[in-house]
Structure 1
Amino acid sequence: MNPLTGLVLAGSGAVACLAWAHWAVWLAVLAASVGAAAAGRVLGKAVAAALVVVVPFALWALAIHGLFFPEGHTVLASFGPARVTAEGLEYAGGIVLRTAALVVVMLAFSTWVEIPVLRAALVRRGVPAQLGYVLATALGLASTVAERLERIREAQEARGLVVRKSLGGRFVAARLQVVPLVLQLVDEAGERAAALEARGQTLPGRRTSYVDEPDSRGQRVLRWVLAMGSLAVVLAVVVSAVARVLGGGR
């Protein structure tokens, strides 16, 4: 499969999750993403990276909306000012499901795609070389976040860091791991920028690539259909929202 086909498929799934607020759409996108990751033999990497994002978000959503949802009327349990309501749990579950679908669909693509092939495909279609490199590199970094965090954690534990099992202990450990990760990514970006400059990436002119990309007429048609369909959905949602705002204003 051409990497641009995978990119359009992932983008279409993200558009569907954002355009239609229905659990069936989110479950369909999530199931399709998991199936695609399994077919591409990257399911383990995609799930591990997704858990890093989804689990903390799910805990936050359940704590805020599950316990302090103002529109909740069906009280399941109460703990002082906190009330567990069915409406709050339903709202939090919807947010978590939509976020999980968005995260998994993008990580399934980013862990599957071959960065050199994606960059070559972007440059061949007129995307500036530096922009294509930045986009491809960002996807590559996203696919290795879980691995990088694991290596940082192992290095810190070797130096004496003790990760306590309590929620507070895990948050402290997460903060100690995220700071080195961000510094590492910033330092890497500087090194890559210097390497690009030294290799003449800022010079004008046409470029050739030794990397070949698989493609077919069917894939090209599919990309155009999905791209136009996603654009139509976005325009329909925006126009509808603007019409409601203007109608309410009058």
Structure 2
Amino acid sequence: MHETMGTVPSSRIHRLNPLTKLTFAVTTTICAFAVVDYWWPLLIFCVVLVPVSIAAGVLRRFSLMLMALWIPVAVAVFLIQGFFFPEAHHVIADFGPLQLKAEGVEFAVQTALHIAVMMGGFFLLLLTTHPGSLMSTMSERGISPSIVYIVAAALQIVPTLNRRATSILHAQQARGQRIKGLYGRVRALVPLIGPLVLGAFTDVSERAAAMETRGFGATGRPTSLVAMADSTAQRLSRAVMMLCAAGAVTVNVWGVVR
């Protein structure tokens, strides 16, 4: 899903310093949420995120991840806000005791687009950055080990769960369980959830023991074996992105105050 440390990255985006890509993900998210409208996050997604994914050569994987994770969230937001948005009056359609209201649909569209930009920015970080590289870079900057671990764990949770779920499904198929078709996949969900959740707890316990053995949280500053390249241009670009994020927040606050 991302490049392996020690291999040659496949694009210039991959070779960027992980902090540059992390700053990009955070900036696009802040800028998207700063404007309460549907056209602004849509513009950021189409003009910024999609071209970057094309330049990185990860458009297909980027699209698949977004469809798999964003669509269920968008549907849930649409149903909840469309039918239960408070103080909504303009009814679009009636479904028995439930009423679909225009204000709720509008808010759901805005929220779903904001979430799409947030997911897209961090999916690009995930697809083009090895978590170990990001951890090493953040540690070199003197960031707290707890924060470094939280960020790295968040980046690895989706691919880790995906690999574990695939392994469980293969094991179930080897035992004779039929998973083909929609009905088979629905039936496979129940025996899948138990091993998936228990395996996640086991991973947490094993990882905690390994981190304690390796001196995680020690007061001394660790030395990284992998030096991540950085440049004046990248440092400048990170400063510009942070200014853009601060400007977007300022404009949003100013609009609320007025």
Give TM-score, length-normalised by structure 1: 0.78
User: Which residue does 1:104 correspond to in 2?
Assistant: 120
Change (3 A) 1:191 1:219: same
**Matched residue pairs, number?**
239
Q: 2:110 is matched with which residue: 94, 97, 102?
A: 94
Unaligned stretches of 5+ in structure 1?
Answer: 245-250
Unaligned stretches of 5+ in structure 2?
Answer: 1-15
User: Which residue does 2:10 correspond to in 1?
Assistant: none
User: Which residue does 2:95 correspond to in 1?
Assistant: 79
Determine if the alignment matches structure 1 residue 53 to structure 2 residue 69. yes
Q: CA deviation at 1:149?
A: 3.5
Change (3 A) 1:156 1:98: farther
Q: Deviations over 1:11-60 (max 9, x none)?
A: 00110122111222211232222332332233343333333332222222
Alignment of 1:1-250 (within 5 A): 1-31=16-46, 32-67=48-83, 71-73=88-90, 75=92, 77-129=93-145, 131-159=147-175, 160=177, 162=179, 165=182, 170=186, 174=189, 177-234=192-249, 237=252
For the 8 Å contact 1:49–1:143, the answer to whether it is kept is no
For the 8 Å contact 1:129–1:201, the answer to whether it is kept is yes
Q: CA deviation at 1:61?
A: 2.8
Q: CA deviation at 1:213?
A: 0.8
For the 8 Å contact 1:23–1:94, the answer to whether it is kept is yes
Q: Distance in 1 between matches of 2:43 and 2:102?
A: 24
Q: Indicate the RMSD between aligned Cα atoms, in angstroms.
A: 3.1
Q: Percent same amino acid at aligned positions?
A: 30
Q: CA deviation at 1:216?
A: 0.9
SS in 1 for 2:182: coil
Q: Distance in 2 between matches of 1:67 and 1:190?
A: 42
SS in 1 for 2:41: helix
